[in-house]
Amino acid sequence: MIKRTLIVVVAALTYTIFPYTTNISGFSWPQQRQAQAAAEKIAPQPAKLSDDLNKRKPVPTSLYPAQNPAGKRPMLTWTAVPGAVSYEIELLSRLPENPNGLDYSRYQIMATRNIYAPGYHCDLLTYFKNRIYWRVRALDFDGNPLGVFSDAQEMFISARKQQQIKPLLTADLNYRGMPAPLYPVYAWIPVAGVTEYEVELLRQPPENPNGATPSAHRIWSKRVTGFDCYDDEPRITPGKYYWRVRGIKPTDEPAGFFSDTAEFVVDLQRGNYAATLGDSITHGGGDISHHPADWEYDYQTYLAFPTVNLGKSGDTSRQIAERFSQDVLPYHPRYLIILAGTNSLRSGTPADEVIQDLTSISEQALAAGIRPIFLTIPPINPNAMQRTVQAQTVANWQQEYARVNNFIRRQPYYIDIAPYLTDTNGELPLSYSIDGLHPGIEAKKLIASIINANWDRVTR
């Protein structure tokens, strides 16, 4: 399962390759240290694991008391733990003798680690008692506990309880009233034993809620494996959209029923102040198994002003420049925050070509009366990329990065985030990124803090 997850991340976010050396041209160590010191003031550093074991405890959110028991295949859910790559769930015959510990209980019935979202579809068809206990903990990339087990949750079971087999949606595309991203990512808790899913997008509510067959109102669909689906079309037509997902058997038949239907609203007026344009760092996601629908992995969540997210995972700087008219102009933002070039440089595109693309973006923005505000490009960590996704790096990535970032620093309006995300080796610190490429939650908070601190300057 983890192999599949890594492949999905690689495919969606275009893990092409950066070159590698040991120094950063054009940026001295004293400047770098000053930036790091400033970063410590702007945003808190990640807490050490030893301080966090008791804090990184999931909280069960699915309750099955005696008066409302679960069926034989219940959906178990819990709060997400920041930085978790996966989760381990333990089913128990009675309350554990070691509550909130790190060790397994002697009362364990079974345990599984193949969980990459904050939920698990549990199969109890061969369990014949009417009560069971469960608890869950977060794991890192290597399978080590990030924190203690959750409080054990008592669950009552009724073999007579009827239930539909359907995925549980987790993506809220208008989270806390925020504008929907231009390229939505749909996400869910998978159904036990099902690997393929079909996402359906509608402009009207389905005429067959929780049915097994497609709706007559379908405008788009896509089949994927796993627990998320990246929309490859910009959802830019204003109005309300509806989406749902169903499992698909290897025989191409439905595996159960469609999920409940979720909705989101596209409102172009919500993006007329500021927009963010870029690749996966802008689109969102991180920590291997987290997608852009996990809002805590989007730096826009922490900005002090409203924005609309126009990021698209996997885009090169050329692709971003080419979709400018289609994706940016309908919103006509006053300010456009641009972070582009990562995927181009990693695939060996020369810095000069990336600079041409950034120049094109700037010219298109200025011609439309939009102020382009560039962000410098954070570095990568080649060793982490090799360890997590087996991505090789070549010799000159830092020089190419430096050339592009020096170009950005000569623009009328830019915010220099790269030094704050750079360690003494000129690389992205492991504390900010598990895979060495995609910033995690603390790094996204830091990026937003730096933008917030500079916003008055670049918008005068």
The pLDDT of residue 215 is above 60: yes
Tokens of 206: 């389905």
Of the candidates 276, 295, 376, 385, which has an alpha carbon nearest to the alpha carbon of residue 14?
A: 385
Q: What is the CATH number of domain 168-268?
A: 2.60.40.10
The pLDDT of residue 384 is above 60: yes
The pLDDT of residue 8 is above 70: no
The pLDDT of residue 300 is above 50: yes
The pLDDT of residue 277 is above 70: yes
Domain ranges of the chain: 2-49+269-459, 168-268
Check: CB of residue 186 under 8 Å from CB of residue 171.
Answer: yes
Of the candidates 109, 40, 20, 13, which has an alpha carbon nearest to the alpha carbon of residue 312?
A: 13
- The structure's pTM equals 0.88
Q: Give the rounded percent of residues in the chain with a pLDDT score beyond 70.
A: 88
The pLDDT of residue 209 is above 80: yes
Instruction: Write the CB contacts of 161 (distance below 8 Å, at least 6 apart in sequence).
Output: 69, 70, 71, 72
* Helices 441-459 & 29-42 angle (0-180, nearest 10): 100
| pLDDT at site 347 | 81
Mean pLDDT of 152-176: 95
Mean pLDDT of 57-70: 96
CA 106, CA 124: separation in Å to the nearest integer? 20
CA 387, CA 392: separation in Å to the nearest integer? 10
- Phi, psi at 357, each rounded to 5°: -65, -45
- Write out pLDDT tens, residues 307-353: 999 999 999 999 999 999 999 999 999 999 999 999 899 888 999 99
The pLDDT of residue 75 is above 50: yes
User: Can you say whether the dihedral through the CA atoms of 81, 85, 86, 87 is positive or negative?
Assistant: negative
Mean pLDDT of 130-142: 96
Question: Given pLDDT bands bounded at 50, 70 and 90, which one contains residue 53?
Answer: confident
Helices (H), 236-381: 280-283, 317-322, 324-327, 342-346, 351-367
| pLDDT at site 108 | 97
| pLDDT at site 51 | 55
Rounded alpha-carbon distances, angstroms, from residue 113 to 85, 88, 110, 338:
11, 4, 11, 38
Mapped onto helix, strand or coil, the DSSP state of residue 308 is strand
Q: When comparing pLDDT for 257 and 35, which is higher? A: 257
The pLDDT of residue 279 is above 70: yes
* Token pair 């992205």: residue: 428
CA 70, CA 62: separation in Å to the nearest integer? 10
Mean pLDDT of 187-202: 98
Mean pLDDT of 154-180: 95
| pLDDT at site 77 | 98
Question: Given pLDDT bands bounded at 50, 70 and 90, which one contains residue 292?
Answer: very high
- Write out pLDDT tens, residues 217-269: 999 999 999 999 999 999 999 999 999 999 999 999 999 999 999 999 999 99
How many other CB atoms are there within 10 angstroms of residue 251's CB atom?
7
| pLDDT at site 223 | 98
CA 362, CA 456: separation in Å to the nearest integer? 20
CATH superfamily of 2-49+269-459: SGNH hydrolase (3.40.50.1110)
Average confidence score pLDDT of the chain: 89
